[in-house]
Amino acid sequence: MEPVLDYVFEIRARIDPDVHIGRGPDEKLSFTPVSGGTVSGPRLSGVVLAGGGDWAVERFGTAQLEARYMIRTEDGAVIDIINRGYFRATPELIERMERGEDLPEDEPGLYFRTAPVFQTDAPQHRWLAENQFIGLARDEDGHVCIRVYLLT
C-alpha cells in the first residue's frame, strides 16, 4: 500500500514579530505570536483566532517547531490545532526571506513541513480529530501558510 495525500484546506496564520527567549550556546528558543488569519479549502473554511503561537528551538540550522492555536469554522465550531514540524533553509534563502521575499514550498534548499493534530468535539468535524495530516508550509505576506493534506 502506498500513502495517498488529499488536499483539504490551507491555513493562513498571521504572525507577529518573533520574541527571542534564549537558551544556550548551541540552540535558540523563540516564540512567534499568532494574531489571526483564515482557513479555506474544499473541506473546511473559517478563521484563525488570535492568541496562539509557535515555539521554535533552533539547533544547528534546523528549527523544531511547535505551534498551538485555534480556528473557528464557518459553522461556529472551534478547533484546537497542535502543529509540530521542522524548518530549515540555506543561508542565502534566509537572507532573501529577511529582505521580505516570499519563497514557494518547493524552493530548493527550503524545508518547512508540519504534522498538524486537531481536537474538537463538533460532530461535523470529528474527521479532523480521527485522521493523520501533513502540512506543506511557507511564509507569505506576514503569514505562515500551511497547505494541509489528509494522509489516507
- Is residue 26 pLDDT above 90, yes or no? no
pLDDT range class, residue 70, cuts 50, 70, 90: very high
Domain at 5-151: CATH code: 2.40.160.20
Confidence at residue 53, expressed as pLDDT on a 0 to 100 scale: 97
pLDDT range class, residue 25, cuts 50, 70, 90: confident
Least trusted range by pLDDT, from 22-31, 33-42, 83-92? 22-31
CA atoms within 13 A on the CB side of 109: 10
Query: Could you report the per-residue pLDDT of 91-134, keeping only the tens digit for each?
Result: 999 999 889 889 988 999 999 999 999 999 999 999 999 999 99
- Distances in Å between the Cα of 98 and the Cα atoms of 36, 41, 61, 102 are 22, 29, 15, 10
Q: Above pLDDT 90, what percent of the chain? A: 85
Whether the Cβ atoms of residue 88 and residue 113 lie closer than 8 Å to each other: no
Cell 505551534, residue located: 67
Query: Could you report the per-residue pLDDT of 44-67, keeping only the tens digit for each?
Result: 999 999 999 999 999 998 999 999
